[in-house]
Amino acid sequence: MRAVLSIGSNMADRWTLLRGVAEEFRGEIVAASPVYATPPWGVTDQGEFLNAVLIVDVDSTPLELLRRGQRLEDAAERVRERHWGPRTLDVDVVTVIDPAELISDDPVLTLPHPFAHERAFVLVPWLAADPSAALRGIPVVELIARLDPAEVAGIVEAGRL
């Protein structure tokens, strides 16, 4: 199964936490975006994030992939004190794209991610990892063009994993 993961951190040693996710998926990564410095989204009274996208080929179900990401979050001592608040690590399954884009309204794992289409911190890295990326049949480049240009301009490349 091929899936798109969005990873982010704005607490602790952000680079080490993101590299830990890449290490967990070493050998399964098909493509990886650069790491981007991104302003907080939703709740703005918090520190800047580092975000990236990994495209992975894994031998698991989408739910197993979600649980794997949650184990990484737990290992990073992620605490969910406030919706969209600060976090040591966030590992989101954005979408499953192969064998076909999976659509699921399961409350445990909604696919594609219900807000991915409106988040520059997901779309910009995803486009960098896969210039032909599409979400629900809409090219990611078109989704980015629909966003506030100031939001897109705030997504700044910071380095590589």
How many Å is the maximal CA-CA distance in the chain?
A: 40
Domains and CATH numbers, the chain: 2-159 (3.30.70.560)
pLDDT in tens, 36-72: 999 998 888 899 999 999 999 999 999 999 999 999 9
CA 129-67-127 angle, to 5 degrees, is: 10
DSSP state at residue 158: E
pLDDT score, position 7: 98
Residue given tokens 């975006």 in the structure block: 33
pTM for this predicted structure: 0.96
pLDDT score, position 78: 87
Over residues 119-133, mean pLDDT: 98
With contact defined as beta carbons under 8 Å apart, do 104 and 62 qualify? yes
With contact defined as beta carbons under 8 Å apart, do 127 and 141 qualify? yes
